[in-house]
């Protein structure tokens, strides 16, 4: 005897619901007639690391297409639910759609199952989307390299995950970065964690935010795809925090003072 339709509708898997109504997250594309990767806007650079109160997630604001600067106000840190953020490097259009699908997935699960999805379920949901996007990524379209940060309400601890193009997830204990400016950032983060004034996980909110600003400014010195802050135009990096109270973005009016202090030699 087949399972009742009503039970199928309450499985808690939003992607299954989409497929039942004919929507596929990513259909496999034929290569002919598609734009080249260099013609598509790309977003870089993003980072995340543990600090004293939780996790800081940050990114520059530039989107490029080949050698062209397409946009200087790209938001590369995206809220997924009250306790989760996704930072993106790669094609923003694909990443933004992934974020929307994830957000609906988490909310559908919460409403249909009357409880929030576990941190493990959230992590694997993004992995599934990336695996289904492999066909596009291998053809040079829609590649995304995300960082996922969340606060595990069950374990009462913040978690950071880095993903490769195939969807494999790796839990990060200290810090990570992705995008074209990430090689410089990773080296500085490792140095700061090992030989800085104190380990990253012991730094205050302001110390962590100022370090994130300096890291992105440094990356911009060596990577043309990473945008520098432009205080005169009120363009600053996007910085968000995840703690036991959920996520919070640092507002632009506070970013002005943080940027000034982070760039001072007398800090």
Look up residue 39 and give its DSSP letter: G
Higher pLDDT, residue 250 or 20: 250
Q: Which residues are catalytic?
A: 44
What is this structure's pTM? 0.87
Tokens 């982070």 correspond to 262
Q: What is the pLDDT of residues 203-229, one digit of tens each?
A: 999 999 999 999 999 999 999 889 999
Token pair belonging to 7: 């039970």
CA 150, CA 87: separation in Å to the nearest integer?
Answer: 11
Residue among 85, 79, 81, 80 nearest 48 (CA): 85
Query: Domain 39-263 is of which CATH architecture?
Result: 4-Layer Sandwich (3.60)
CA 258, CA 256: separation in Å to the nearest integer?
Answer: 6
Q: Per-domain residue ranges for the chain?
A: 39-263
């Amino acid at each position: 005897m087949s399972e009742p339709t009503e039970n199928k509708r309450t499985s808690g898997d939003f992607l299954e619901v989409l497929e039942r109504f004919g929507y596929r997250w990513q259909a496999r594309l034929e290569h002919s007639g598609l734009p080249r990767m260099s013609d598509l806007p790309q977003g870089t650079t993003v980072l995340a690391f543990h600090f004293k109160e939780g996790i800081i997630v940050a990114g520059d604001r530039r989107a490029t297409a080949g050698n062209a600067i397409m946009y200087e106000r790209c938001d590369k840190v995206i809220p997924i639910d009250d306790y989760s953020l996704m930072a993106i490097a790669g094609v923003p259009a694909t990443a933004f759609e992934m974020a929307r699908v994830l957000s609906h997935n988490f909310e559908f699960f919460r409403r249909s199952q009357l409880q929030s999805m576990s941190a493990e379920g959230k992590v694997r949901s993004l992995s599934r989307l990336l695996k289904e996007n492999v066909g596009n990524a291998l053809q040079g379209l829609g590649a995304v390299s995300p960082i996922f940060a969340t606060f595990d309400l069950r374990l009462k601890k913040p978690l950071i995950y880095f993903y490769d193009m195939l969807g494999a997830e790796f839990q990060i204990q200290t810090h990570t970065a992705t995008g074209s400016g990430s090689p410089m950032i990773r080296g500085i983060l490792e140095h700061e964690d090992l030989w800085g004034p104190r380990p990253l996980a012991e730094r205050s909110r302001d110390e962590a935010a100022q370090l994130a600003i300096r890291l992105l400014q440094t990356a911009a010195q060596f990577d043309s795809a990473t945008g520098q802050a432009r205080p005169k135009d009120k363009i600053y990096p996007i910085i968000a925090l995840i703690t036991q109270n959920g996520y919070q973005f640092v507002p632009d009016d506070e970013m002005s003072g943080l940027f000034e202090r982070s760039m001072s030699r007398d800090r």
